[in-house]
Amino acid sequence: MENNIVNEQKIFNRNKWCYSLGGIGRDMTYTLMATFLMVYIQYTMNLTIAQFSTISFLLVIGRVWDAINDPIMGTIIENTKGKWGKFKPWIIIGAVLTAVVIILIFNIRSFAGWDFVIFFAVSYFVWELTFTMNDISYWSMLASLSTDAKKRNKITTLAVVFAGVGAFAANAIIALASGDMVRFYGGVSIGIAFALVACQTLTVLGVKEDQRIIAENNAKENNVTFKDMFNTIKNNDQLLWITLAMFLYNIGSSLLGSTLAYNMIYLEINYGGIEGTLLVLCLGVSSILLQSFYASLVGKFGRNKLLRYSLALTSAGYLMLLLLGFTFIPINIITICIFAIFVFSGQAIFYMVLTVNLTNTIEYNEYKTGERREGVIFSLRPFMAKFASAVTQLIITGILIFSGIYALTENVSMLETQKNAFESKYISGTVEGQAEYMLNLENHQIIFDQELQEKLEEIDKTTYDTAADKQVAIDQANLEIEEMYKALEDTVITLNTETGLYTMDITSSANNIFYGERDNVLMKFILRGGITIVPIIFLCGAFLVLKKKYIIDEEMYDHMMEEINKRRIAQGKAVE
């Protein structure tokens, strides 16, 4: 008996670490796509407002469609049988395919304008499909690793902490990209792709599932049908309420760490510095520390009190961020980081409570129906996350366009593209080619004539309602080129005497573009309100849903497990 207990503890510890460490590469991948994909497009692709808006619309449609597919994927997982169980095959297949797709998205730059929009549409929809395979199978496995409340808290805490480590690492690295975005994103995407496959391989090979459970699943004669899927979701009232709360939370919590935050730093502080990375350090350290102590905190205060404390802390941080620069407290990276720590710490605890609450609805489903249905139930986690992401994307796009920030950053995007073109051409060319390119750059003529010609060719391919509309587009193209002439006057080109290669520093030019708008109160307030006021509204909504509708507290969970274990004993099944 004692040997069995020791062996079970060893297996649990092994599963806990192999499962949780696997989340690092996953969340690095998700951060790259969810947080930085739009930064990459905004600052490197030279798209019109119509093209940028179309891509944003495609993101919304893709995420909504993907959200709808999540329960379907959950059903497919429930029906998967074999010696590897129902989770592992989809974890590794999804990881490998996702790695291939993100490498292609960030390294193929042979498309421009509407051709890029088409390329993006296809590649993004493929990414949604492949990541869904991995995402749902990975998180569904969590509930199958333990039903003991204390063990559940431990493994959930560790899994969320390492997911935070992955997100933090990706944020910290990618935040350094400004000033060399094209090349930086290409290299980082390859590194993250390898990290994803490596981490998920650790989970697949390292986690030891209960062979009796796998055998029971393989022996089932009746597959889970789509009707069963809908009934499971419909009849689990606690699952529906926690899903709504997580939906509201995800919208509110994602805005400060989104494209908007980096635009705020670029507009109000500096472009091309380490400020973005410093903000990420605050996010990572505060989130990971608070999540690491979750098990102790929940044991002392309980989930309901933790929710109230976390909401109060988060709201206070947001309000102070809103007022920075408009009060006696100045806005700089130090003051931003101080109050961002309040926000990130509060949200870290809020998220942990939500994750545990969602996991507990699996036992609630077994308590009511006798069926666990981990795959179907946990499919609602990415379902609401992606649905929330679609709403968030609409908010972000509206703020960037309505405030005028997107039109402003198009000039910075042209600088980033020019830097990449310049350094790519001279590095692969001959000495004579370098000298010729430097002469052309100094004169600005050939480079910008070619840029203008490409824009005019794109205009000729486009259908306009009137000749006047076409002329407006032509005038706009000429104006953009003129602005680039002015911007490049401040670029710094340096010769490396050891390598004989030139580098271009565009940060001074980019900061000059932002400088003229740093006193634009309306632009700043729209942007600031989007990452402070809007989150408070959504987080309060999530809190109210939990307070009014969610009933699975610690006492009720213990009662459910007593009843479930009695049934298992009566049916001759093992009790954990």
With respect to residue 558, please indicate whether it lies within any of the assigned structural domains.
yes
Q: What's the pLDDT at 498?
A: 67
* CA-only gyration radius of the chain, Å: 26
Q: Do 107 and 255 sit in the same domain of this protein?
A: yes
Q: What's the pLDDT at 567?
A: 80
With respect to residue 525, please indicate whether it lies within any of the assigned structural domains.
no
Q: Which tokens is 336 given?
A: 């931003």
Q: Do 368 and 442 sit in the same domain of this protein?
A: no
Q: For 494, phi and psi rounded to 5 degrees?
A: -120, 140
Q: Do 375 and 513 sit in the same domain of this protein?
A: no
With respect to residue 153, please indicate whether it lies within any of the assigned structural domains.
yes
Q: Do 230 and 351 sit in the same domain of this protein?
A: yes
**What gap in Å lies between CA 493 and CA 173, rounded to an integer?**
25
Q: For 83, phi and psi rounded to 5 degrees?
A: -70, -20
Q: What's the pLDDT at 469?
A: 81
With respect to residue 576, please indicate whether it lies within any of the assigned structural domains.
no
Count of domains forming the chain: 2
Q: Do 365 and 469 sit in the same domain of this protein?
A: no
With respect to residue 575, please indicate whether it lies within any of the assigned structural domains.
no
Q: Vertex 249, ends 19 and 539: CA angle to 5°?
A: 140
Q: Does residue 257 sit in helix, strand or coil?
A: coil
Q: What's the pLDDT at 228?
A: 61
10 Å CB burial of residue 549 (0-12, 13-18, 19+) is: middle
Q: Do 449 and 536 sit in the same domain of this protein?
A: no
Residue ranges for the chain with pLDDT beneath 50: 218-219, 221, 429-430
User: In this predicted model, what pLDDT tens digit does every residue of 47-59 receive, in sequence order?
Assistant: 888 888 899 888 8
The CATH code of the domain that includes 127 is 1.20.1250.20
DSSP 153-177: HHHHHHHHHHHHHHHHHHHHHHGGG
Q: Do 395 and 429 sit in the same domain of this protein?
A: no
User: In this predicted model, what pLDDT tens digit does every residue of 425-442 receive, in sequence order?
Assistant: 655 544 555 565 556 555
With respect to residue 312, please indicate whether it lies within any of the assigned structural domains.
yes
**What gap in Å lies between CA 449 and CA 471, rounded to an integer?**
18
With respect to residue 84, please indicate whether it lies within any of the assigned structural domains.
yes
With respect to residue 526, please indicate whether it lies within any of the assigned structural domains.
no
Q: Do 447 and 500 sit in the same domain of this protein?
A: yes
Q: Do 434 and 364 sit in the same domain of this protein?
A: no
Q: Do 14 and 41 sit in the same domain of this protein?
A: yes
Q: Which domain holds residue 17?
A: 2-219+226-403+532-570
Q: Do 357 and 288 sit in the same domain of this protein?
A: yes
User: In this predicted model, what pLDDT tens digit does every residue of 472-494 receive, in sequence order?
Assistant: 888 877 776 666 666 566 666 67
**What gap in Å lies between CA 493 and CA 515, rounded to an integer?**
21
Residue listed under structure tokens 């739009």: 38
Query: Which of 333, 346, 331 has its CA nearest to residue 286?
Result: 346
Q: Do 48 and 129 sit in the same domain of this protein?
A: yes
